[in-house]
Amino acid sequence: MDAFLRRIIDELTGNLNGIKAIVLGGSRRMERQVDFWSDTDLSVILEPDMRVDEHQFVQAINQLGFIIGSERYSEQASMLYRTAIEFQDTIHLLDATIYTYNEWGLTGISKNQSAAIVYGQIEIGENQKTAPELGAFDSYEQQIHQTWFKYLITIKKFARNDNLIGMHLLLDLIREYLVMEMIERDMRKGTNIHRFGEAEQLPEMIKLFRVDEADQGKIFDYIAGLAYEYDEKLMRNIKNYRSRYAQIAEYLQKTKQRLHRTNGTNGSKERGCCR
């Protein structure tokens, strides 16, 4: 056990009441797998009937060193606190989740995952409930309408030369496409835990070098390509999904025509914009 992990255990057990166990997961459970970028994945499980005290949990971790950056994700009976901490002149990445005992049974480490108990006593898989099937797109469906609406607003912003908001929105659209890619990878691999990637490549039409906010035509071509790829993924993965690509392509074409009439300029010809 390294000095950072020992310090974490000391701070947590010294500042929080009712800790049943602390479990180390991820690569650091096996030192031979650790590299420069490895984070420390900890699960803190409370005794039955104990409640999560988010303030005390955060305060305990903040005592470890200088917090360079952090993220918090709170649920009803758990909290994930992700931090980048400077400790003994080294930056450590810590993913620490605190669970009630019942919540650990719903979402904690399962028997088929490798983990090490570094404090207290608990059986891995103890109180474990059946987890939902991995990789379903059902939970993503609610995002579809919001994303397609954002496509239209993005086109409008670039048409009005508001490149700041346009680029902000376009980055959101790229992210939504990548979410679809990641869900597909999870389904293909049967897990959402990926220590290494596969040097994945974006489709040719939406490689990032094609983004040029100074050229309206190229931006519109990029949006058309991104919409096409996104629509294809939705049709492939979501039952009864109704394609929106034709409507986006038509809106883009009319936008270009309007700009040509009002400004006397024309964007570059669309490449592969329509089925």
pLDDT tens for the 275 residues of the chain, in order: 789 999 999 999 999 999 999 999 877 666 656 677 788 899 999 999 899 999 999 999 999 999 999 999 998 899 999 999 999 989 999 999 999 998 887 665 554 456 788 999 887 765 555 444 444 666 666 788 899 999 999 999 999 999 999 999 999 999 999 988 888 888 888 776 676 787 888 888 888 888 888 899 999 999 999 999 999 999 988 888 899 999 999 999 999 999 988 876 544 444 444 44
Bridge partners (DSSP) listed for residue 84: 69, 93
Q: 16-36 pLDDT, tens per residue?
A: 999 999 999 877 666 656 677
Q: 113-126 pLDDT, tens per residue?
A: 567 889 998 877 65
Count other Cβ atoms within 10 Å, centred on residue 10. 14
**243's tokens:** 């394609």
Residues of the chain with CATH 3.30.460.10: 3-120
Cα dist. 156→83, 167, 220, 244, 256 in Å? Answer: 38, 12, 10, 17, 11
Angle at 41 between CA 43 and CA 171, to 5 degrees: 115
Question: Rounded to whole angstroms, how far apart are CA atoms 254 and 252?
Answer: 6
pLDDT for res 269: 42
**Pair 165, 157: CB distance under 8 Å:** yes
Sole residue written with tokens 């270009």: 256
The angle that helices 143-159 and 216-237 make with each other, rounded to 10 degrees, is 170
Displacement of CA 269 from its chain's centroid (Å): 35
Length of the chain: 275
pLDDT for res 127: 54
pLDDT for res 106: 66
Question: Rounded to whole angstroms, how far apart are CA atoms 16 and 98?
Answer: 11
pLDDT for res 147: 93
- What CATH number was assigned to the domain covering residues 3-120? 3.30.460.10
User: What region, left, alpha or beta, does residue 234 occupy, with left being phi > 0 and alpha being psi -120 to 50 degrees?
Assistant: alpha
**Pair 43, 37: CB distance under 8 Å:** no
